[in-house]
Amino acid sequence: MNYQDSAWDPSATLSTSFTLDDLSKASQKFQPTTSETYQTSILKVIGDAHDKGYKRVCMPLTTEKWKKRWSEMCLLPTERSDQDKESAAQAAETWRLNPAFERDEVTITRIDEAENIIVMISDWLELDAADDWVRHDAEIALKQELAYASYLNVHTAILPAPRNRDHVASYARIVNSCLNKSPYIYLSIRLPIYNPSSVFHPGSPISSFHPSSSSAISSPNPGAMPTPALVISESEQVPSTSGGSLNATWEMWDVIRSMCDYNSRLTLTLDLSPALPTTLGVLSKWAAESVRHIFLPSSTFIANMKGYPVLPKPTQQFIRDSMIHRPTIILAEVTEGHHSRGGEAAYSQYVRYLEKTSPAVEASKRTGTVENFAQGYQDYLQAPLQPLMDNLPSVTYQTFEQDPVKYMQYEEAMYRAFLDHPEGEKIVVCVAGAGRGPLIARCFKALERANREATIIAVEKNPNAFVTLQQRQATEWDNKVQLLFGDMRVIQVPEQADILVSELLGSFGDNELSPECLDGAMRFLKSTGISIPSSYTAHLAPLSSSKLYNEARSSKNDKSLETPYVVMFQAVNILSGTKATVDGRCGPQVQECWEFEHPRRDALLNRSGLPFTNSHNARSAKLCFYIPHAGILHGLAGYFEAVLYGNIGLSIHPQRKEQVSKDMLSWFPLFFPFKEPLYLPSNSELHVSIWRLTNDRQVWYEWHAESFILLPASLRAGEELLLGSPGLSPAPSFSLMGAPSPLIDSKEPDISRTATTEVTRMDGELEAVKIGHTSLHNPGGRSSWIGL
């Protein structure tokens, strides 16, 4: 098992990581005269890493000297004279005016040293420090480092992890400013996969030494010298907002990514050092994010029975699942000998083993699977077909005719329907929308298998495909098919059919106007006749995907976020919980919107056998999803299921497709985007409204969502108590409270908080409280409609 001699086309890129210590040792050993290949010690260590099979090398950009100079200039010194302080302040101001490195403050100096290097920005820079001036000077230093890295043509810089939830907005603002200032470099936020407090050791808070200070927040411990763990601010020890929860680090990432407006040069370096939780739900959210690098130190590995390094089960599974996203895996501390067997190579070999055993990667390599068939189409947005308005080209028919499963299901459905007809009795079959004839061919096979005779009538409105039908009629079908050219909604047939077969379904079932077309074709059917398919349903689930959101809005068309797309999902996460809730408020993960049945019962028809209006094909649904883990709603995933005949069906429902029509290739799901990403907290509810609307000329969908959170009813009781009887209570006077003004003699403010005082008498009754909503999408079909 060696990554080098394998024919395997790898998904992941491997990188190793060097510390300052590694670089310093390499420099000491380096003998410029003896080496002809490498001119510098940095080039040598990079070359050695490449020889070991690492495609990338990750290393710090700056040295301890830089940290020392910056700290002396910008942090509050412990025991220095006023004169020293003054000269430090002078140095800092001079530096702020012209931020620049000294030679020995950086690890690399040549453009060839920087090739394929991922640089680590100084990890002691506290961009989210509680102290305003520490943040201020950390921002200048960060920009200096990024400017230097950009000068050396470095493509990716990993930023120190955010650690202070209270000031993550400042961190995010700085990152956004850097993205705009450095137009080429990729910035990757290093982030532990969860719960940072178990990763970082608390240290003393630090404070700046800044000459101006009328509003500088003074530190509670102003004399503290910066320690190596200076990156921890006090707020971590007392988490104030959502701290310590499983979502805490993702929540910080979400603030950063959102405030950087989903910049495509902003990525994640997910740090797998902490032990992973065993709940899939918490981890699956990372699938919807731009995880570019996975940081994996050797200390995360455990030893197997033989002493070789292996990963804990949840970490294994997470890495296997991540492989599909082609990450760069940064192996760190691999030379430290944490494990008794296998040496340095064991770590990368193990990662390659996980890659090969990744079900997603395996599926993409195995022919016959959707994953393999759809290579290159992952997360690629396509406009849904409109076969009724547009005549499809032959190549489109050809693509879809390649689906063995779909036509096998149709053949099986026809076969069973034929069997249910009395032997010897002649059957009339009408194929409505015959295309290039795949259903006709299957119809002949099914008749042969069932030992039945039938008249086959085929209707097709695409004049070009009709030529193909005539060709097959002459060469394959021995002129046994009655070919009729025309639209099934207006054409007349010579004979009424027992079975009407059609393949008019879209990814959402009715979205290619199957209901309207079959309304027109019902005239062809005897009163006892049946339709294949006999019914179909549309299904929805709430979806998170930074990728799809960015793809949908990258179109110049400003309506691109109000139109559904056909997409092969990859970097997505379904936000709804897998199970319906006990209280019955919320349904399952994927929920049914509506159904169409053919033939329609009780249909009211005019003299031509057609409906008066299309009113009866309007639909609407109100769905309620349970959201177990916080996430960002970017859109809705749309699926369909169809009953062809009996228990033969077609399904792209993610939880049922394997059982109904495994490996069917013809349909990717539909993606209904939302213009504004909607934040959904853990344990919330999402109410989705969707409408299928119609007028004389068009059909379209509109969609909308509202989010709710369940609160104990008593939490809101305070509000109700203020209700008085009309006319009895005097109107309360407007209270003039607030921070004391320097201009007004301040009274002690009479502070109170109605709700808080009510909290203690909480009971178990929960009430859904609204917390957000999206706009109404595609109103009036203005952005997308389907032509009748």
Per CB under 8 A, contacts with its own copies among 293-332 are 302, 312-315, 317
Binding piece for its own copies, criterion CB under 8 A, among 342-350, 412-420, 562-570, 647-655: 647-655
Helix axes 463-475, 438-450, angle to 10 degrees: 40
Binding piece for its own copies, criterion CB under 8 A, among 105-113, 411-419, 444-452, 653-661: 653-661
C-alpha to C-alpha distance for 427 and 454, rounded to whole angstroms: 4
Q: Exposed/middle/buried for 727, CB within 10 Å: 0-12, 13-18, 19+?
A: exposed
3-state secondary structure of 24: helix
What is the CB neighbour count within 10 angstroms for residue 612? 9
Could you give the count of Cα atoms lying within 13 Å of 234 in the half-sphere of its Cβ? 12
H/E stretch holding 25: helix 20-29
Tell me, rounded to whole angstroms, the distance of Cα 225 from its chain centroid.
Answer: 42
C-alpha to C-alpha distance for 696 and 284, rounded to whole angstroms: 44
Residue 226: what residue type?
Answer: P
State the nearest-atom distance from the C-beta of 174 to its own copies, in Å.
10
Per CB under 8 A, contacts with its own copies among 245-264 are 245-246, 251, 255, 258-261
State the distance between the two ends of the chain, measured CA to CA, in whole angstroms.
Answer: 58
Neighbouring residues of 206: CB distance < 8 A, sequence distance ≥ 6: 75, 76, 126, 129, 131, 134, 219, 224, 226, 230
One residue of 390, 620, 662, 787 binding its own copies per CB under 8 A: 620
Asked whether residue 460 is marked as a ligand-binding residue, the answer is yes
Per CB under 8 A, contacts with its own copies among 135-154 are 135-136
Asked whether residue 371 is marked as a ligand-binding residue, the answer is no
Q: Exposed/middle/buried for 640, CB within 10 Å: 0-12, 13-18, 19+?
A: buried
Mark residues 373-412: x for contact with its own copies by CB under 8 A, - for none.
Answer: ----------------------------------------
State the nearest-atom distance from the C-beta of 207 to its own copies, in Å.
15
Q: Is 230 a binder of its own copies (CB under 8 A)?
A: no
Nearer of residues 401 and 706 to its own copies, judged by Cβ? 706
C-alpha to C-alpha distance for 519 and 209, rounded to whole angstroms: 78
State the nearest-atom distance from the C-beta of 674 to its own copies, in Å.
11
Number of residues that bind its own copies (CB under 8 A): 171
One residue of 211, 220, 404, 787 binding its own copies per CB under 8 A: 211
Per CB under 8 A, contacts with its own copies among 62-101 are 86, 89-90, 93-94, 96-97
Nearer of residues 364 and 591 to its own copies, judged by Cβ? 591
Asked whether residue 112 is marked as a ligand-binding residue, the answer is no
H/E stretch holding 153: none
Is 512 part of the annotated catalytic residue set? yes
Per CB under 8 A, contacts with its own copies among 661-680 are 676, 678-679
Beta bridge partners of 428: 455
Is 236 part of the annotated catalytic residue set? no
State the nearest-atom distance from the C-beta of 771 to its own copies, in Å.
4
Nearer of residues 267 and 614 to its own copies, judged by Cβ? 614
Q: Is 590 a binder of its own copies (CB under 8 A)?
A: yes
Catalytically annotated residue among 371, 512, 551, 702 = 512
Q: Is 528 a binder of its own copies (CB under 8 A)?
A: no
One residue of 51, 528, 731, 748 binding its own copies per CB under 8 A: 731
Q: Is 513 a binder of its own copies (CB under 8 A)?
A: no
Mark residues 155-174: x for contact with its own copies by CB under 8 A, - for none.
Answer: -----------xx-xx-xx-
Nearest to 541 by CA among 590, 503, 608, 614: 590
Catalytically annotated residue among 503, 516, 562, 641 = 503
Asked whether residue 171 is marked as a ligand-binding residue, the answer is no
C-alpha to C-alpha distance for 686 and 19, rounded to whole angstroms: 46
- Strand 684-694 with 766-773, pairing: unpaired
Q: 357 with 323: CB under 8 angstroms?
A: no
C-alpha to C-alpha distance for 565 and 778, rounded to whole angstroms: 13
Mark residues 171-200: x for contact with its own copies by CB under 8 A, - for none.
Answer: -xx--xx--xx-------------------
Q: Is 716 a binder of its own copies (CB under 8 A)?
A: yes
Q: Which residues line the annotated binding site for S-adenosyl-L-methionine? A: 397, 406-407, 460, 487-488
Residues with active-site annotation:
503, 512
